A and B are shown apart, each in its own frame.
Chain A
Amino acid sequence: MMSLEEQVKGRNLKLHDMCLRDGMHSMRHQITLDQMVDIASGLDDAGVPLIQVTHGDGLGGSSLNYGRGLHTDREYISAVAKVVKNATISVLHVPGIGTLDELRMAADSGAGCVHVASHCTEADVTEQHIGLGRELGLDTVGFLMMAHMTTPEHLVEQALLMEGYGATTIYCVDSAGYMLPDDVTVRIGGLRTALQDATEIGFHAHHNLGMGVANSLAAVAAGADRIDGSAAGLGAGAGNTPLELMAAVSERMGIDTGVDLFKLMDVAEDRVLPIMPQPPRADRDSITLGFAGVYSTFLYQAKEAEQKYGLSARDILIELARKKMIGGQEDMIEDTALSMAKERDLV
């Protein structure tokens, strides 16, 4: 059997930074324009080819349900577009949350890539949005979230739909940080076999079980061309794959990312870490996300409900997993907590 290093050596890999989008969750969508510009220009200078800049829940995500952004997506994207020299700015776009007009706005403001996201079984809601992404000339990515919730075979079917709509890259997204390396291998391998050779494959991890780097390596070995991560790991739950860690491991294993490792380490340490209220850590609630398979951004409102109703956030998260709640259903956190509190005579 080939060693992992033999499988990945010499491969080219695109690293995609998420700290200014997924990290918005941890920052409760309050990153300032100055912080965005500072971090994005650092990432650009370090040679990170793709930088995502959007509200944590994507275009149009600013809401009572997910939290209001300190600035609009237009303000964030335009500000970053002014300073970035080489990197492509990407945005997250979830049909059902963002509208086509918002995608047009993002392209006008300087975005060159879009992750069009749906739950892993609902790819057929992305047709209009992938179509518009292509029409606008964007690097158009189909982003299948919560991919642990369906079989590898069904994930492939959904990926083929997105490819058929025009997506030129397809992601397997471990939104709950639930997957173990074998789960990643079989999914990415299935995608690589089924999709056209020209279609790129990506993997997006959450570090809730501490598997971000290991899972990302498994993805590369199985054929992934793009890996999402976040400088200093800034992202929902216990964060995303720390990008500087992934870059360091890649270099050791002979994967070519084109990124200046030391510069990237400095961005994480000097620019990202200082803005965090606390560094992402796999605390008991984040581990619960990964252990039970819960959407990583549920962490924050579950913790708030714990304070408000005297329930344990872990109990709430386990209940949300039992009810099979998926990405975007933040409203069900308060609802579930209220129902639990009623049952326990706490309200």
Chain B
Amino acid sequence: MDKIKCAIIGPGNIGTDLLYKLLRSEVLEPVWMVGIEAGSEGLARAKEFGLKTTAEGVDGLVPHVIEDGVQIAFDATSAYVHAENSRKLNELGVLMIDLTPAAIGPLCVPPINLKDLAGRKTMNVNMVTCAGQATIPMVAAVSSVQKVDYAEIIATVASKSIGMGTRKNIDEFTRTTSAAVAKVGGATKGKAIVIVNPAEPPLMMRDTVFCETADEPDQEAITAAVHEMIAAVQQYVPGYQLKNGPTFDGRKVSIFLEVEGLGDFLPKYAGNLDIMTAAAARTAEMFAQDILDGQLKLEPVKENA
């Protein structure tokens, strides 16, 4: 079967983990890895897997997009450069899946709104953040039962699992997650807290979700919705687990999660990587399937005059 050809921009932790997942995909074929440092480990690894590589950034990819038939690109660099990367590739008709917290395109958390994005002709989809991917499904589960006035998430990631991009973008990371907790999760107001823990051996990603419902929470319905959503996320992140809760205290609902990764690139503690790259791959696969089925034709984006 034909596969849709893809490029990954950013050969760091996220880009490399994503590469492992794309290599297993039935509808996506990674063909280019784009970096900015010649001789970097990430580029060398991609080369070993048979990808073409460039250390010239997106400009090094642009001349090859058409002849190599690249239709989808994943940006795993930083919020600062994403807009420019996206513009250059959109002009060539390449759909951009954004794994930075730039959030210039519609936000996507697959079990909640991936289907809504089909047919919207968007050329840039944002994957929020790993913290958002891990927690927003729970906010959505609670808000599917009743109105949530306020949702707050606390994501703790192992220091070894987050690279320089995330560290330099910690403000965008926090703000994009907060905004998506409300917008995608369905809470009136959202807040995100991010903690980087350096413990050795590294700790598994932990996520806590607090929701304040407008009225007395329907405990039974919320518990059922939470378990249902856990199962939906487990379809693409098998290590997504409910550790404790939901517990109820007045209008406050507390949900305690752990995310174990597949151990593709970084070890299993890096569930944050896994949930982000698995969500991005799943999103791209939906679009790829639509392209293969003839339901979606990507068009170059003309710059506004």
* Chain A contact residues, CB within 8 Å of chain B: 60, 63-65, 95-97, 99-101, 119, 121-122, 124-125, 127-129, 149, 323-326, 328-332, 334-335, 338-339, 342
Contact = CB atoms under 8 A, between A and B. Distances in A.
Contacts of A128: 168-171
B208 A65 contact: yes
Q: How large is the interface on B (under 10, 10 to 19, 20 to 34, 35 or more residues)?
A: 20 to 34
Nearest to A95: B170
A328 B195 contact: yes
Question: What 6 A-B pairs are tightest by C-beta distance, nearest first?
Answer: A324-B199, A331-B208, A96-B194, A338-B244, A64-B210, A121-B198
Given A65-B154, A335-B208, A338-B247, A329 B168 contact: no
Given A63-B152, A65-B154, A95 B171 contact: yes
Contacts of A324: 197, 199, 203
A184 B174 CA distance: 33
10 contacts: A99-B174, A99-B175, A100-B171, A125-B196, A324-B197, A326-B197, A329-B195, A334-B256, A338-B244, A339-B244
B47 interface: no
Given A64-B212, A96-B170, A324-B203, A338 B197 contact: no
A70 B196 CA distance: 28
A330 to B, nearest CB: 8
Contacts, number: 96
Given A99-B175, A335-B243, 9 more contacts: A60-B191, A64-B210, A95-B174, A99-B171, A101-B175, A323-B199, A326-B197, A331-B154, A335-B208
Nearest to A57: B193
B39 interface: no
B245 interface: yes
A124 B203 CA distance: 19
B167 interface: yes
Interface in B182-241: 191, 193-199, 203, 206, 208, 210, 212
Contact of B256 (A60, A100, A149, A338): A338
Interface in B41-66: none
A63 B245 contact: no
Contact of A96 (B168, B196, B245, B247): B196
A127 B80 CA distance: 14
B272 interface: no
Contacts of A326: 195, 197-199
A125 B193 CA distance: 13
B166 to A, nearest CB: 8
A69 B276 CA distance: 33
B143 interface: no
A195 B152 CA distance: 39
B193 A328 contact: yes
A42 B20 CA distance: 62
Given A97-B193, A334-B254, A338-B245, A124 B198 contact: no
Contacts of B87: none
Contact of A64 (B156, B243, B252): B252
Nearest to B212: A64
A119 B256 contact: no
Interface of B: 150, 152, 154, 156, 159, 164, 167-171, 174-175, 191, 193-199, 203, 206, 208, 210, 212, 243-245, 247, 252, 254, 256
Nearest to B245: A338
Contacts of A124: 164, 167-168
B254 A96 contact: no
A335 B193 contact: no
Given A64-B252, A65-B152, A324-B203, A119 B168 contact: no
A329 B197 contact: yes
Contacts of A119: 196-198
Contacts of A339: 243-244
Contacts of B191: 60, 63
Nearest to A149: B198
A26 B194 CA distance: 23
Contacts of A330: 154
Contacts of A328: 154, 193, 195
Nearest to A126: B170
B110 to A, nearest CB: 25
Nearest to B210: A64
Contacts of A129: 170-171
Contacts of B152: 63-65
Nearest to B207: A331
Contacts of B210: 64-65
Contacts of B194: 96-97
Nearest to A150: B198
Contacts of B169: 128
Contacts of A64: 150, 152, 210, 212, 252
A121 B159 contact: yes
Contacts of B171: 95, 99-100, 128-129
A127 B168 contact: yes
B129 to A, nearest CB: 12
B172 to A, nearest CB: 9
Given A100-B171, A127-B167, A338-B244, A63 B193 contact: yes
